[in-house]
Amino acid sequence: MPVVGEIYLVTGGNGFLGQEVIKILIEENSDVSEVRILDKVIQQDLLERLQALAAGRIQLTVFKGDVRDKEILQKACQGVTCVIHAASVIDIWGYMSNEELEAINIEGTRLLLETCIQQNVECFIYTSSVEVVGPNIRGDPICNGDEDTVYPSKLRFLYSRTKYAAEQLVLATNECLLPNGEQIVTCALRPMYIYGENSRFMVTYLDEGIINGDILQRTSKKQALVNPVYVGNVAWAHLLAARAMKDKDKKKIVGGKFYYITDDTPHVSYSDFNHEVMGPLGFTIPEKLNKPLLLMYFIAFTLEMIQILLKPFIRYIPKTNRHLITMLNTKFTFASHKARNDFDYIPRYSWDVAKKQTTTWLASIVQDRRDILNKK
């Protein structure tokens, strides 16, 4: 059996980021004796891979459920020293009801925080998002922003608003008194758009390219620069933040703060980034948008009006909306020097390595995706 040590709970452990967080905890943190995984579904093949990686050194414990289940949370948090809360619902299209989105992202986070306090959990890291900042409705740009950047933000996506509300709950809980007389330390990480192996968004872009005859859709203009971040580096940032929270001096610096997480991935538009990693597989991309931006906005507005008119009769969800178009066509880049200063964050994976691993993964699934799409 593992020796007594740190016990981590990773919510959303079956997810894209959650998997990487668990792997890096197993690989890099010698003080960990147990990692607990909380998610509604746990893939058996993933669990077997993680168990093989742990090799008996670290105990893996699975809790099936979500953050709205009080009974599960009480069991999962008992004896835990650090919670990494990576679970949330991402919805920028309107597939989910407002009530369910708020219940999971906000109330679920509130319930998890309350449970952590009851169970004397010392550290809590929240996976936030750059989208809690914007872009705003006007599409005001940010170039190399940081935590001190003032931005006139009026968020339209309910997803963004729920993530921001949950983040503020987490930060406000910092230094709350625990029953054992200690204080909980909390912080939030705001990664850019996360890419890498097992990203369902990248699979969607790949599918669209295959359907379009190996031509990727250009949905963002070249000038709309963003700086995506590799999933392995985001997971690494979580581990480094957790280590800082265990340090009596650094936890006073990190506690109650939020941090942007970036790496050396090139600053390009969303569309050009897709081409960067999929181009080696034979995919091409047009140089320009296939429609003027104003026309794209008008079409999106028309579809939104149709959605409103049909709402009493049928559930119609447009494939795009005005704010999604704004997000894809707004220059929005950030730097992570504060994370480097406060908890020694330096990306673990270079762009060359991240690109190679992402493209290799895409190459491994592209034929399967072609076969699946051809059967439809």
Active site residues: 159
Residue with tokens 């072609």: 370
Q: How far is CA 187 from CA 70, 137, 262, in A?
A: 23, 27, 17
Residues 6+ apart with CB under 8 A from 264: 347, 350, 351
Residues 6+ apart with CB under 8 A from 98: 158
CA distance 189 to 261: 7
Residue type, 288: K
Is there a contact between 196 and 359 (Cβ–Cβ < 8 Å)?
Answer: no
Taken in order 32, 36, 42, 44, is the CA torsion positive or negative? Answer: positive
**Inter-helix orientation angle 231-246/351-375, to 10°:** 130
Residue type, 268: V
Going along the chain, which residue ranges are E strands?
A: 6-11, 32-39, 59-64, 82-85, 123-127, 142-145, 185-191, 194-195, 229-230, 257-261, 332-334
CA distance 354 to 374: 30
Q: Is 38 helix (H, G, I), strand (E, B) or coil?
A: strand
Q: Which of 221, 224, 151 is CA-nearest to residue 190?
A: 151
Encoded tokens for 142: 């940010």
Q: Which of 152, 150, 85, 91 is CA-nearest to residue 124?
A: 85
CA-based radius of gyration for the chain: 21
Query: Nearest 5°: CA angle at 244, between 238 and 247?
Result: 150
Q: Is 174 helix (H, G, I), strand (E, B) or coil?
A: coil
